[in-house]
């Protein structure tokens, strides 16, 4: 298991290098000049060229990329063109907002999606199943920004019980969290329903019922163990995507998170901000996928048996080699 974790961590290095290089290529081929954008159209060409030289924008692409990688290895994400502050400092100041929104929305979506999927699967072709499918389709099809505006309209303007922007107290987290959780809950509900319907038709579920076990015990002790495994993967992918997908909620509700910071960098062509944000989000997503894979090994006994069988084979090979060595010495 340790070798597997180390191998996956080492695989992240070329992945992040490729992502960072691809981002830099896209930045390089996109029209626009950050120096001219910052100084304005009234600035002279001498000032613009001087600023470009100061930022290193006149260097060839391989030189700029090599300098970026070297600085990252030393913990330097560069300095923002707009704020003149270190990008790392600004990112880590804003990241807690994004992380908390992602965690809260994921927890809420799990508490809504899994019970809704179980209800639909255990009442297939009934009114409960139809209602659950209908609500899931609406939630998946509904644009996130439109639902966020609806929440602002009714809870912030009509009822005036929740703030429409900013995070001044705990109430400020409610609308951004709910706006993200709706779509995630629909995805989890559909996945749970599909997996559970497949599992409850298996022979071992029929056998458990034939033994006289209570339906709740059959469902939650036997069926859900196998049905929940693919859902864990979906939840992990949602959590990784929500770190970058919180952009809409942060913009609509004026949350000073990493998504809004990245959008500001894109609008102002602030290259250090763009590169640093994409690299951090990509690294976090890779780590989350690794954690989900490790959770599989804890949840799924088949995966644990694979690791056990590999260790047993290695141990047996080592024992056979030792015995052959002893026999060779004895023969000599």
Sign of CA dihedral 196, 200, 204, 207: positive
d(CA 282, CA 15): 9
Lowest-confidence range among 167-171, 193-197, 298-302?
Answer: 298-302
- The whole-model pTM stands at 0.78
Lowest-confidence range among 182-196, 257-271, 298-312?
Answer: 298-312
Q: Determine the pLDDT at residue 320.
A: 47
Q: What is the mean pLDDT of residues 72-83?
A: 88
d(CA 120, CA 137): 13
Q: Quick one: CA torsion of 230, 236, 240, 241, rounded to 10 degrees?
A: 40
User: Which residue did the predictor score with more confidence, 296 or 100?
Assistant: 100
Burial 134-159 (b: 16+ CB within 10 A, else e): ebbeebeeeebeebbeebbeebbeee
Q: Determine the pLDDT at residue 70.
A: 92
Is it the case that residue 323 has pLDDT exceeding 70? no
Query: What is the DSSP code string of 270-302?
Result: -HHHHHHHHHHHHHHHHHHHHHHHHHHHHH-HH
Q: Quick one: CA torsion of 81, 85, 88, 91, rounded to 10 degrees?
A: -80
Give the residue extent of every domain in the chain.
22-76, 94-299
Q: What is the mean pLDDT of residues 155-161?
A: 87
| pLDDT band (50, 70, 90) for residue 31 | confident
Domain covering 94-299 in this structure, CATH number: 1.10.3720.10
d(CA 55, CA 69): 16
At 161-180, the pLDDT tens digits run 888 887 888 888 888 888 88
- What is the average pLDDT score of the chain? 81
Return the structure tokens found at 82: 């707009």
> C-alpha angle 309/313/318, rounded to 5°?
150
């Amino acid at each position: 298991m340790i070798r597997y974790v180390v191998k996956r961590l080492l695989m992240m290095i070329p992945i992040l290098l490729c992502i960072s290089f691809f981002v830099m290529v896209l930045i390089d081929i996109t029209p626009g000049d950050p120096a001219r954008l910052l100084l304005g159209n009234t600035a002279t060409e001498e000032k613009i060229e001087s600023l470009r030289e100061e930022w290193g924008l006149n260097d060839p692409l391989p030189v700029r990329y090599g300098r970026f990688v070297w600085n990252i290895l030393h913990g330097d994400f560069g300095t923002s063109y707009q704020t003149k502050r270190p990008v790392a400092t600004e990112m880590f100041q804003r990241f807690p907002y994004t992380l908390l929104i992602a965690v809260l929305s994921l927890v809420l979506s799990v508490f809504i999606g899994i019970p809704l999927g179980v209800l639909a699967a255990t009442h297939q072709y009934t009114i409960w199943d139809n209602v659950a499918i209908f609500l899931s389709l609406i939630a998946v099809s509904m644009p996130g920004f439109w639902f966020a505006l609806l929440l602002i309209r009714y809870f912030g303007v009509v009822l005036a019980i929740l703030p429409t922007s900013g995070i001044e107290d705990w109430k400020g987290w409610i609308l951004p969290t709910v706006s993200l959780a709706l779509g995630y809950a629909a995805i989890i509900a559909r996945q749970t329903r599909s997996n559970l319907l497949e599992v409850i038709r298996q022979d071992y579920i029929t056998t458990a019922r034939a033994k006289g076990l209570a339906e709740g015990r059959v469902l939650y002790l036997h069926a859900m163990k196998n049905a929940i495994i693919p859902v864990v993967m979906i939840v992990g992918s949602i959590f990784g995507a929500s770190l970058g997908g919180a952009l809409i909620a942060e913009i609509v509700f004026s949350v000073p998170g990493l998504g809004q910071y990245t959008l500001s960098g894109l609008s102002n062509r602030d290259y250090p901000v763009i590169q640093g944000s994409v690299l951090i989000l990509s690294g976090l997503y890779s780590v989350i996928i690794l954690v989900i894979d490790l959770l599989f090994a804890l949840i799924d006994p088949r995966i644990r048996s694979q690791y056990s069988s590999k260790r047993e084979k290695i141990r047996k090979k080592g024992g056979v080699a030792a015995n052959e060595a002893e026999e060779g010495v004895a023969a000599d």
